[in-house]
Each structure stands twice: as structure tokens, then as C-alpha cells.
Structure 1
């Protein structure tokens, strides 16, 4: 039964990928999402790079990258403010 469920999951994931990649709008959306994730990772890396001067670091993980990826620079400032206030 467990193998059947994994098979169904694999086939449905493959079909979803095929449907998404055939649409031009989905391709643009995935490109936009990828660029935002890369920019977010670089912003967080830059904050951690200057941490030797500022003594302030933010972890680079899925949550922080998603927050900065969706909100941009205001999201980075939000994370910094949360860290300063809560910790």
C-alpha cells in the first residue's frame, strides 16, 4: 500500500511539472520566483558578510530566504527588527 501511494505521488508530481512547464505564464512566474530567491540569499549573505563590523547576523535558512524573497528589502529590515527586539 505504501509503495502505491509513493507511486501515485510521483506520477502526479511529474504530471504537475509537465503542465506547469507547458504554460508560458508559469515559466515567467518560476523565473521571477527563482530570481527573488537568489537575490534574497545574496542579501542575507551580505548581511552576514558585514557581521564582523556590525556584530549582527541573520541565519540563512528557508524561512528567512522566503521572507526576504517575498517582501524584499522591507522583509530584510523586518527580520533585523525582530531579531533586535526579541533577542
Structure 2
């Protein structure tokens, strides 16, 4: 079962690379993604060390960075709301 899952992962990764390079998107998407990633980390960093809300600390891990990268500033607000309501 584990080999089947690994085979599906490798095959889907190769097909994704094929699609990316056949569409002539080049490397522009990588710089855009990097910019979003950097701004997401900066947004979480500002929340953690601004001192406005002292009881909120959002850890910098792949899940939080990914959520903020995809959702943008509302993602930071979502994480803050989750931190306030759940913890």
C-alpha cells in the first residue's frame, strides 16, 4: 500500500512539472510564490512581536505559513481568531 501511494505521489509530481513547463509559465510563478511566502512570514512576525496583543503568539511553521500564503492578510486574521477562540 505504501509503494502504491509513493508511486501516485511521484507520478502526480511529474505530471505537475510537465503541465507547468508546457504552459510556458516559466519561472515567474516561482518568484510570485516566493514573494507571497515572504510576506506571509512577515505578517506573522509582525503579529508575534508587535506587542499589540500580548497573549497571541502564532508559531512560524509550514501550516501557518501555508495558510497565510494562500489566504493573504485574512489568513493572519483567521489564525489570530483561531488562537483567541481555541486557546
Q: Does TM, scored on the shorter chain, surpass 0.5?
A: yes
Is residue 2:75 matched to residue 1:82?
Answer: no
Number of paired residues?
73
**Which residue is equivalent to 1:64?**
64
CA offset at residue 36 of structure 1?
0.5
Is residue 2:57 matched to residue 1:54?
Answer: no
Is residue 2:31 matched to residue 1:25?
Answer: no
Higher helix share: 1
**Which residue is equivalent to 1:4?**
none
**TM-score normalized with structure 2 length:** 0.68
Secondary structure of the 2:25 match is helix
Deviates more, 1:19-28 or 1:69-78: 19-28
**TM-score normalized with structure 1 length:** 0.68
